[in-house]
């Protein structure tokens, strides 16, 4: 053990124990010499106190220790021999002082401090004595008198002297003690004197070092001259200043900064590093008082010293961090001074992006973004805009910064363009709308970069994001003034069509007037151009123009994202939107989504919910751009109210239009129309909504009456041909019910009652579609109008009971939604008389978990879980007893009469046990009953029970599983040999889960003898898997462990019916139980890809290598020199040079006509194919000749293989084997049919019905394709001639039979 262990010695709290005995017991067994001396000194003092009949209190030990120290200080003759004793006494005194009462210390404070100062001023003081002596002085200075500098000057000088000691541990202790003392002096009058002491000793050693070769002696402590000593002492003081500089007074700090500047001018990396560390400590300290001018000058020198010399990557990165915090400090102290110095600092940091050090580039990028965000303020931007309007004025600071940002797009920064674009994006966001005046040149340069080829621009994604930042900052109108779309030009390739997706994604806070006047004006011009192209016989160009029209319309939702002129200009836009809704079918979705965005945002703003939304986004970690924050900040409740007035004003016209469109639209086009009608109804006047609602109800009543009459007539006349009429009537009724659901948010109580009355007969209708829509109406009523449930509980309850037998399977999911609101309402309100209804509906819910429809099954699971949580909620009257009672009701369903009911009950129990793990043991007989079910002969019951076992194993603790392990294993082994429905694989998986949970030995004990081999096989397979995992290289393993060392967190997975009750048992991996266990610790696989941290990518050896020099043989047109300051010419020349020498094959180039259609010259294609075939033949002939001399006996055996490979090579590479030239028309273009051959090309048109989720729709679409596949199977393996001959024979037979029938009829 070392003496440093005494520092971690646990101090006693109350000071009443025998401190000497405690220290002796702590270090008695230590072999360290320092600890032995300590124990001897303590035992000697304890014996003295005992002889004098004094209690072993801290005060007594304090007096005895000080007496011994004074004796040691007075005896100068044996100082060297008694040094271990002195060290032991100082060590013990540092332990005693905190235990001594403040009253005793105040009385003996001055005498104790003087004694310690005299003791430490001796010539030969050991490291242990100095360390613990300084610790005692530090404690006395921090707890004693802080008003009289003369009393503490000598003791403080001791700490300063030891701060430059040659012994590292002593020097470190002195630095820590100085920090403690200065921190305690922060609010006292002697802080200035203490700070001046640090300044004097620093200047003293600077003068001493100045008389020698200061630079040559840095880092050479073995030199003993005064100059060398002074140089090293300067370094020691710099190390101390890293800790104590923020605690010094402002006056002293201002005097130290010029000295730091002189040290930087020496351009020595060792000194520069120390100075940067001190400067960084000053800049990051919130309490340090710095002079703004001195700090700004020092930061300027730091740029010159570090960046001009291109130090190592680590030094540059640290310097960038110092500049980042330093300029932030200057901005806080003096904004005007920061504005003057910022352009130079920004320019220096920007130059780092051209360096080769990866870590330096990232450090400079972070610093640049930080400077933009924190050092550029509104006053600075305003000043720059004012100077732009003055003729002959020098560039403003913000203008110089923008010029530097523009230079980052030069060729010398091409390897760091991805980093530079982030800086420019940040600058766009900070400048906001002012960027259109300051960053126009940057935007044009970004457009020039877009024209580069992909091999010249690898950061196109970052480029588009940067352009998007410009769109969000400037606004679309100002952005398009600088960079217009030019969609109405002659050639579409000359336009900026690539901007449309960027505009769509980043427009926020735009102007609706700009869209109405400019965008829709451009749309009208493109419409005219498309018609003209169609007349001219250019259909492809016409379609391209129409595509541009649709792309322009797709900008409408973005313009409706927090627009700033809704109240002023939406009325003009609304007229054009209504006209487009009626005429343009393809634009209805875009217009409806835009209206929804506009209404929803204003509703949230009017309800003052924007603040809560922003806080939610921050909590969830969602990034929100600065432009969106600005747009949201404009939407206060006043502006939202004005916007809502306009939206309410135009709602009748839009409702009328949407009603008309909705009733004439097919079913797959009504979704967005229904959502839009619902949003408009939520903001419209109640009377307006009621008017449209009554119209819909009148139509519904009329259609229902017609359906009833037609149904009675069909029954009376036994008609069977009215199915089409019946389907049309049912579809119309369903459509009107959907319309009623859309209007629910705007209906009053009277209208809701009317709708409920109209819905009740539809719940018992024979048509499943009508039932489904009726249940959706009822769900909407219960969701939107909470009071309706309270006022009509009995009627709703009776209705749900009555309609249960006649519920159609397609309406089951929506019926469960109704039951959810009904049951939870009964539980929350405590309706005791309705509690029996829960048991009545429980069997229906349990059976629903076995539905084949996935959504219905999921809804049944959710309903069980929500009921459980409602009963468990103690804040609303719930309790564990109620939850257990409900669980017992579910368990009671195991007594069902049919296997289907029993398996459904087992499935419901599994879901509840998965959600509420404590329910596993709440019913004592549950698990034994489940084990008994494993003896059943019904496979449906067995499948559900195995799923329950999987949940039990995953959710129960190992000690609880041990109690039922024997019965569980015996029950599972009953199906270990059953291969049908994969029961064998399921049992094996469950046994593996048991082994992982309880251990192999525990399972082996209860395993029957005849099945022990199964355990052995499982163990061997697991060992093989473990070996495969351990085969990963040690480097990757270490990297993965370090990346995942802090990623082991508890997670909560979701219920997965397929994984638990799947027909297949092999799809679950070894960690399938981990997917269900909430307490399972998540460990990613060894071989999984781990995202590297930022620090792992920043390595000093990683450099961005590129040739930033222009090539020596650069071709220049004529004798005119190349202007290197012209970025466009430089890029074009480099682009040509990089592509020079590449193989240009005219065969691979596509030729397009003016309309954009592909032009194929069949003659050239044929010649090129022949030429390639000839070249291949010549090449193969040469190869065969060169290898002929070396042929061996194996040539005969390999001839057939080489022939086959040559044939495959010709077929795959040259492509001439199956060209289809036999169908070529020699007289004209195109293909022709040939006798005895199949048709040259066959197409099967795509049908959208093939993607429909309904089986009957898909079957209709697949019918024709099935015939094609059937025919292809019949002709499989036959040649073309055989297939055609069979087809001809079949036709002849059909014709012959047909002729025979006609003859018989005629006879």
What are the beta bridge partners of residue 1159?
Answer: 1151
Pair of tokens at residue 499: 């901007």
If pLDDT is split at 50, 70 and 90, which confidence band does 1171 have?
Answer: very low
Percentage above 70 pLDDT, the chain: 73
Q: How do residues 520-566 score in pLDDT, each as one tens digit? A: 999 999 999 999 999 988 888 899 999 999 999 999 999 999 999 99
If pLDDT is split at 50, 70 and 90, which confidence band does 1151 have?
Answer: low
If pLDDT is split at 50, 70 and 90, which confidence band does 1066 have?
Answer: very low
C-alpha to C-alpha distance for 382 and 56, rounded to whole angstroms: 75
Residue 324: pLDDT over 90: yes
- The mean per-residue pLDDT over the stretch 19-26 comes to 81
Q: 1108: number of CA atoms within 13 Å, CB side?
A: 14
Query: pLDDT value at position 553?
Result: 95
Per the prediction, the chain carries an average pLDDT of 78
C-alpha to C-alpha distance for 882 and 118, rounded to whole angstroms: 79
Query: pLDDT value at position 1108?
Result: 52
Query: pLDDT value at position 1215?
Result: 38
What lies within 8 Å, CB to CB, of 765 at 6+ separation is 771, 774
C-alpha to C-alpha distance for 62 and 56, rounded to whole angstroms: 10
C-alpha to C-alpha distance for 1275 and 1282, rounded to whole angstroms: 9
Residue 808: pLDDT over 80: yes
Residue 902: pLDDT over 70: yes
Angstrom distances, CA of residue 197 to CA of 130, 182, 204, 290 = 20, 11, 11, 18
Range in 70-84, 869-883, 1010-1024 the model is least confident about: 70-84
- The mean per-residue pLDDT over the stretch 711-736 comes to 62
Q: How do residues 1202-1225 score in pLDDT, each as one tens digit? A: 444 443 333 333 333 445 666 677
Range in 252-256, 410-414, 613-617, 1271-1275 the model is least confident about: 613-617
Residue 718: pLDDT over 90: no
Residue 224: pLDDT over 70: no
Pick from 304, 192, 206, 305: which is nearest to 254 by CA? 192
Query: pLDDT value at position 706?
Result: 81
Pair of tokens at residue 1084: 């990613």
Pair of tokens at residue 462: 């970052």
Query: pLDDT value at position 194?
Result: 92
Across 227-231, 538-542, 965-969, 1256-1260, which has the greatest mean pLDDT? 538-542
Pair of tokens at residue 449: 């970069």
Residue 1190: pLDDT over 50: no
Instruction: Count Cβ atoms below 10 Å from residue 937 Cβ, excluding itself.
Output: 7
Query: pLDDT value at position 1133?
Result: 60
Query: pLDDT value at position 365?
Result: 94
Query: pLDDT value at position 463?
Result: 94
Query: pLDDT value at position 979?
Result: 66
C-alpha to C-alpha distance for 370 and 331, rounded to whole angstroms: 12
C-alpha to C-alpha distance for 1238 and 744, rounded to whole angstroms: 61
Query: pLDDT value at position 1181?
Result: 47
Query: pLDDT value at position 973?
Result: 82
Q: What is the pTM of this model?
A: 0.74
Residue 1116: pLDDT over 80: no
Query: pLDDT value at position 1202?
Result: 43
Query: pLDDT value at position 1052?
Result: 44
Range in 35-39, 976-980, 1183-1187 the model is least confident about: 1183-1187
Angstrom distances, CA of residue 982 to CA of 143, 425, 977, 986, 1015 = 79, 57, 10, 6, 19
Pair of tokens at residue 44: 């000697």
- The mean per-residue pLDDT over the stretch 85-103 comes to 86
If pLDDT is split at 50, 70 and 90, which confidence band does 1124 have?
Answer: low
Residue 1196: pLDDT over 50: no
Pair of tokens at residue 279: 């400067």
Q: How do residues 165-189 score in pLDDT, each as one tens digit? A: 999 999 999 999 999 999 999 888 8
If pLDDT is split at 50, 70 and 90, which confidence band does 1182 have?
Answer: very low
Pair of tokens at residue 648: 């309410």
The answer to whether 732 and 717 are in contact (CB under 8 A) is no
Range in 378-382, 394-398, 698-702, 1266-1270 the model is least confident about: 1266-1270
Angstrom distances, CA of residue 628 to CA of 374, 448, 483 = 19, 27, 22
Query: pLDDT value at position 711?
Result: 60
Phi first, then psi, for residue 1081 (nearest 5°) are -80, 130
Pick from 980, 976, 983: which is nearest to 1014 by CA? 976
DSSP-derived secondary structure for 355-397: SSBHHHHHHHHHHHHHHHHHH--HHHHHHHHHHHTSTTPPPPH
If pLDDT is split at 50, 70 and 90, which confidence band does 594 have?
Answer: very high
- The mean per-residue pLDDT over the stretch 1301-1307 comes to 53
If pLDDT is split at 50, 70 and 90, which confidence band does 1241 have?
Answer: low
If you search the block for the tokens 């008198």, which residue do you land on?
145
Torsion on CA atoms 399, 402, 403, 406, rounded to nearest 10: -160
Question: DSSP state, 923?
Answer: S
If pLDDT is split at 50, 70 and 90, which confidence band does 675 have?
Answer: very high
């Amino acid at each position: 053990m070392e003496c440093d262990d005494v520092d971690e010695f646990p101090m006693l709290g109350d000071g009443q124990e025998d401190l000497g005995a405690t220290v002796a017991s702590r270090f008695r067994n230590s072999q360290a010499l320092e600890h032995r001396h300590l124990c001897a000194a303590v035992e000697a003092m304890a014996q003295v106190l005992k002889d004098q009949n004094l209690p072993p209190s801290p005060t007594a030990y304090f007096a005895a220790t000080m007496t011994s120290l004074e004796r040691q200080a007075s005896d100068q003759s044996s100082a060297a021999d008694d040094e271990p004793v002195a060290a032991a006494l100082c060590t013990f005194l540092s332990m005693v002082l905190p235990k001594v009462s403040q009253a005793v210390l105040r009385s003996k404070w001055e005498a104790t401090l003087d004694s310690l100062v005299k003791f430490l001023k001796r010539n030969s003081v050991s490291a242990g004595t100095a360390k613990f002596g300084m610790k005692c002085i530090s404690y006395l200075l921090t707890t004693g008198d802080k008003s009289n500098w003369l009393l503490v000057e000598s003791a403080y000088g001791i700490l300063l002297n030891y701060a430059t000691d040659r012994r590292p541990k002593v020097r470190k202790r002195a630095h820590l003690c100085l920090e403690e003392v200065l921190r305690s002096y922060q609010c006292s009058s002697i802080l200035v004197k203490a700070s001046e002491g640090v300044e004097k000793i620093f200047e003293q050693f600077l003068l001493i070092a100045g008389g020698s070769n200061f630079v040559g002696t840095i880092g050479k402590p073995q030199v003993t001259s005064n100059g060398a000593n002074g140089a090293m002492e300067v370094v020691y003081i710099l190390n101390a200043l890293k800790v104590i500089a923020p605690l010094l007074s402002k006056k002293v700090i201002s005097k130290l900064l010029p000295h730091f500047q002189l040290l930087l001018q020496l351009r020595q990396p060792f000194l520069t590093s120390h100075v940067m560390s001190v400067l960084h400590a000053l800049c990051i300290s919130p309490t340090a008082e710095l002079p703004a001018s001195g700090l700004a000058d020092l930061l300027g020198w730091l740029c010159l010293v570090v960046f001009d010399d291109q130090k190592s990557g680590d030094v540059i990165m640290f310097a960038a961090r110092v500049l980042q915090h330093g300029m932030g400090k200057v901005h806080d102290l003096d904004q005007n001074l920061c504005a003057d110095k910022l352009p130079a600092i920004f320019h220096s940091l920007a130059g780092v992006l051209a360096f080769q050090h990866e870590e330096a580039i990232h450090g400079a990028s972070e610093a640049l973004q930080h400077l933009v965000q924190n050092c550029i303020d509104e006053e600075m931007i305003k000043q720059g805009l004012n100077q732009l309007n003055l003729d002959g004025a020098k560039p403003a600071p913000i203008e110089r910064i923008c010029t530097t940002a523009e230079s980052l797009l030069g060729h010398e920064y091409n390897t760091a363009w991805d980093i530079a674009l982030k800086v420019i994006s940040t600058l766009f966001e900070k400048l906001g709308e002012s960027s259109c005046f300051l960053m126009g040149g940057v935007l044009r340069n970004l457009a020039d970069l877009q024209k580069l080829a992909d091999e010249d621009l690898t950061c196109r994604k970052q480029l588009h994001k940067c352009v998007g930042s410009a769109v969000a900052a400037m606004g679309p109108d100002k952005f398009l003034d600088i960079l217009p779309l030019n969609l109405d030009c002659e050639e579409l390739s000359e336009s900026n069509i690539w901007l449309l997706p960027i505009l769509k994604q980043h427009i926020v806070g735009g102007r609706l007037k700009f869209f109405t006047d400019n965008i829709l004006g451009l749309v009208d011009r493109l419409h005219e151009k498309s018609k003209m192209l169609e007349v001219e016989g250019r259909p492809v160009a016409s379609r391209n123009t129409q595509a541009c029209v649709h792309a322009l319309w797709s900008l409408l939702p973005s313009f409706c994202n927090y627009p700033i002129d809704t109240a002023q200009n939406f009325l003009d836009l609304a007229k054009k939107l209504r006209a487009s809704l009626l005429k343009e079918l393809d634009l209805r979705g875009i217009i409806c989504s835009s209206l929804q965005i506009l209404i929803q945002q204003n509703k949230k703003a009017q309800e003052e919910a924007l603040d809560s939304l922003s806080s939610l986004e921050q909590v969830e970690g969602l990034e929100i751009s600065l432009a969106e924050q600005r747009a949201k900040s404009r939407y206060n409740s006043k502006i939202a109210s004005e916007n809502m007035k306009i939206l309410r004003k135009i709602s009748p016209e839009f409702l009328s239009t949407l009603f008309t469109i909705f009733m004439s639209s097919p079913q797959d086009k009504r979704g967005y129309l229904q959502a839009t009608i619902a949003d408009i109804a939520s903001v419209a006047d109640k009377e307006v909504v009621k008017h449209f609602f009554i119209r819909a109800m009148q139509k519904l009543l009329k259609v229902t009456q017609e359906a009833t009459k037609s149904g009675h007539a069909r029954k009376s006349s036994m008609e069977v041909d009215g199915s089409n009429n019946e389907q049309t009537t049912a579809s119309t009724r369903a459509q009107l019910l959907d319309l009623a659901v859309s209007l629910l948010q705007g209906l009053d109580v009277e209208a809701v009652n009317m709708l409920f009355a109209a819905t009740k007969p539809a719940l018992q209708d024979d048509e499943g579609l009508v039932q489904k829509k009726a249940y959706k109406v009822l769900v909407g009523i219960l969701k939107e109008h909470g009071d309706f449930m309270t006022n009509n509980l009995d009627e709703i309850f009776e209705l749900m009971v009555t309609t249960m037998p006649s519920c159609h399977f397609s309406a089951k999911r929506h019926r469960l939604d109704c039951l959810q609101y009904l049951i939870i309402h009964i539980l929350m309100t405590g309706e005791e008389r309705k509690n029996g209804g829960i048991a009545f509906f429980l069997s229906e819910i349990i059976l629903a978990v076995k539905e084949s429809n996935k959504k219905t099954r999921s809804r049944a699971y959710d309903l069980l879980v929500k009921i459980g949580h409602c009963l468990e909620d103690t804040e609303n009257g719930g309790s564990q007893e109620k939850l257990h009672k409900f669980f017992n009701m579910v368990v009671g369903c195991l007594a069902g009469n049919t296997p289907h009911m029993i398996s459904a009950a087992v499935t419901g129990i599994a879901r509840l046990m998965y959600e509420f793990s404590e329910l596993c043991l709440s019913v004592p007989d549950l698990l034994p009953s489940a084990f008994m079910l494993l003896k059943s002969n019904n496979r449906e019951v067995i499948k559900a029970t195995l799923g329950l076992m999987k949940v039990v194993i995953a959710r129960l603790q190992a000690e609880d599983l041990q109690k039922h392990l024997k019965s569980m294993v015996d029950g599972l082994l009953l199906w270990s040999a059953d291969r049908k429905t994969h029961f064998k694989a399921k049992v094996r998986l469950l046994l593996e889960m048991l082994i992982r949970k309880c251990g192999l030995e525990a399972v082996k004990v209860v395993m029957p003898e005849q099945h022990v081999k199964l355990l052995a096989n499982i163990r061997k397979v697991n060992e093989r898997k473990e070996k495969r995992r351990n085969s990963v290289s040690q480097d990757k393993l270490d990297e993965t462990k370090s990346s995942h060392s802090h990623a082991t967190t508890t997670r909560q997975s979701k219920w997965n019916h397929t994984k638990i009750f799947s027909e297949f048992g092999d799809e679950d991996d070894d960690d399938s139980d981990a997917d269900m266990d909430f307490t399972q610790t998540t460990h990613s696989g060894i071989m999984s890809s781990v995202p590297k941290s930022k620090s792992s990518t920043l390595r000093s050896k990683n450099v961005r290598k590129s040739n930033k020099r222009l090539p020596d043989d650069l071709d220049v047109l004529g004798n005119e020199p190349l202007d290197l300051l012209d970025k466009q010419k430089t890029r074009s020349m480099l682009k040509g040079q990089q592509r020079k020498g590449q193989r240009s094959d005219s065969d691979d180039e596509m030729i397009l006509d003016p309309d954009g259609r592909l032009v194929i010259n069949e003659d050239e294609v044929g010649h090129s194919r022949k030429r390639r075939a000839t070249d291949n033949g010549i090449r193969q002939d040469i190869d065969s000749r060169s290898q002929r001399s070396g042929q061996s006996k194996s040539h005969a055996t390999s001839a057939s293989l080489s022939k086959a490979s040559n044939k495959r090579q010709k077929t795959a590479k040259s492509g001439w084997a199956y060209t289809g030239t036999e169908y070529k028309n020699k007289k004209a273009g195109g293909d022709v049919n040939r006798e005895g051959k199949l048709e040259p090309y066959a197409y099967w048109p795509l049908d959208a019905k093939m993607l429909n989720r309904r089986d009957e729709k898909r079957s209709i679409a697949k019918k024709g394709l099935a015939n094609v596949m059937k025919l292809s199977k019949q002709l499989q393996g036959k040649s073309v001639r055989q297939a055609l001959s069979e087809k001809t024979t079949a036709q002849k037979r059909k014709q012959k039979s047909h002729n025979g029938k006609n003859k018989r009829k005629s006879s």
